[in-house]
Amino acid sequence: MAVTCLLGVLAGNATSANAASTLEAVKEKGFLTCGVNTGLPGFSSPDEKGHWTGMDVDVCRAVAAATLGNAEKVRFIPLTAKERFTALQSGEIDLLSRNTTWTLTRDATLGLNFAGVAYYDGQGFMVKKSLGVSSAKELSGAAVCIQSGTTTELNLADYFRMGGMKYDPVVFDTSDAVAKGFDAGRCDVMTSDQSQLYALRLRLSRPAEAIVLPEIISKEPLGPLVRQGDDQWFNIVKWSLSAMINAEELGLSSANIDSKKMSKDPAIKRFLGMDGTKGSGMDLSDDWAWQIVRQVGNYGEVFDRNVGMASPLKIERGLNSLWSNGGIMYAPPFR
């Protein structure tokens, strides 16, 4: 999901924000400042003690583990959809990891770079069973709860226009407000990224009475962003995400990573910083990838505990399975 306004004026501030290396600034202050959702179960959500969890949160922690050797050295900044790009452009945050869709417009006009795909998603619809529909094609004339300033708005308009259907948009500023509006009966349908629908369903007063319709109407590759102009930082974030994916492919996990130090497998030796380019190319310690897996886990661990079968959401891996297991999750090799 993402803001659609171009924020082109602020994009120019990205260059000044990068006058000093982001890595140097992070090391100097001793923590990473990471922009996340204001509260989306499975992706970024604080508990009653202020401890953040979620897939997007774990991406932030992976970068902290790689750069500072400590995954807990992160200061999380909750941001709305409208605030997120401005916060990164202005230098308020070092990294944006907030269920944000990678699009041409954002890549080309905001002065920002996507550092990879952390979750392949798609926009869907949720209705109450009492509405009596089983397909999005039956929603003509419905009132639809939607979050403002997102690609979801554009996708919704396109879908209904192409289907020759009409709808009444009921717009809210945050995803939590969207869920509350749907729960209170202010609309017939709630639309968002499908993963977000499963997460928001947990917040309804009667979750069992809501169903997600089968249609997926868009591609929503979600991933972390950094400012343009700092290639070193871009590479660090990109390879921190890639490290978690490669670790799962290599069979490396938080439970066995220490025992793998004696491995003779050249791919594992390169991953652990015992051979190859190690960490010098990004000005990191040689064990940066080991730190990520030891402290945060591989991609499969992160997925499972936050949104998968070990979580309340119980989302199937689907497209987010490794390429070798029928999915499209794939990372460049450590070579």
Predicted confidence (pLDDT) per residue in 188-213, tens digit: 999 999 999 999 999 999 999 999 99
pLDDT of 19 strictly over 70:
no
pTM here is 0.90
C-alpha distances (whole Å) from 267 to each of 256, 272, 279, 301 are: 16, 9, 15, 20
In this prediction, residue 301 has a pLDDT band, given cuts at 50, 70 and 90, of very high
- Span 145-186, pLDDT tens digits: 999 888 899 999 999 999 999 999 999 988 899 999 999 999
- 29 phi and psi, to 5 degrees? -85, -20
> Backbone phi, then psi, for 267, in 5-degree steps?
-65, -40
pLDDT tier for residue 15 given thresholds of 50, 70 and 90: very low
pLDDT at 277 (0 to 100): 82
CA 34, CA 224: separation in Å to the nearest integer?
10
Main-chain dihedrals φ then ψ at residue 311, nearest 5 degrees: -115, 165
Q: Does 1 or 322 have the greater pLDDT score?
A: 322
